[in-house]
Amino acid sequence: MSLQSEKQADTLVIRVEEDRIDAAGAIRFKEGMRDLIAERSARVILDLSRVNFLDSSGLGAVVAVMKLLAPERRLELAGLTPTVEKVFRLTRMDSVFTIHAAVDQGLSHAG
């Protein structure tokens, strides 16, 4: 699972450099994220713009990362592609994440 992390001011931006977060890769995603979020930051934005597919296991892994950050930090999402957006919308999980159209909008947003 390829994850690229970059600190921009007080925000940790983590880009998923994979086409999919699915049942076969969900555990590796969660483990990779756990290592990266150990870095201190005020905010964490997960850039999903390169992810074309996410299944319910991938969704569960994203939720698990959100819980790892709690209660000090929240997980913000950016760049949802159409099928990924559909999974968040159908399961109503779009209601528990702050979702930005793209990372740039997320960075300029107050969080």
Partner 1 sequence: MRAERMAVNGMASQAAVEWPFALIEMPGDLESVRAGLARAMRSAPLARLGPEDRGRAEILLAEVLNNIAEHACCGSGAGIRLLLRLEPARLCLVVEDDGVAMPSGALPAGELPDAASLPEGGFGWFLIRSLAREISYLRDGKTNRLGIVMDCEQ
The residues that touch partner 1, with contacts defined as CB under 8 A, are 20, 22-24, 53, 55-57, 59-61, 63-64, 66-67, 82-83, 86-87, 90-93, 95-96
Within 5-109, residue ranges assigned H as helices are 26-36, 56-69, 82-90, 103-108
Cβ of residue 96: shortest distance to partner 1, in angstroms?
5
Residues 6+ apart with CB under 8 A from 83: 52, 53, 54
Cβ of residue 87: shortest distance to partner 1, in angstroms?
6
| Cβ nearer to partner 1, comparing 92 with 110 | 92
| Cβ nearer to partner 1, comparing 50 with 107 | 50
| Cβ nearer to partner 1, comparing 13 with 59 | 59
- For residue 45, count CB atoms less than 10 angstroms from its CB and return exposed for 0-12, middle for 13-18, buried for 19 or more: buried
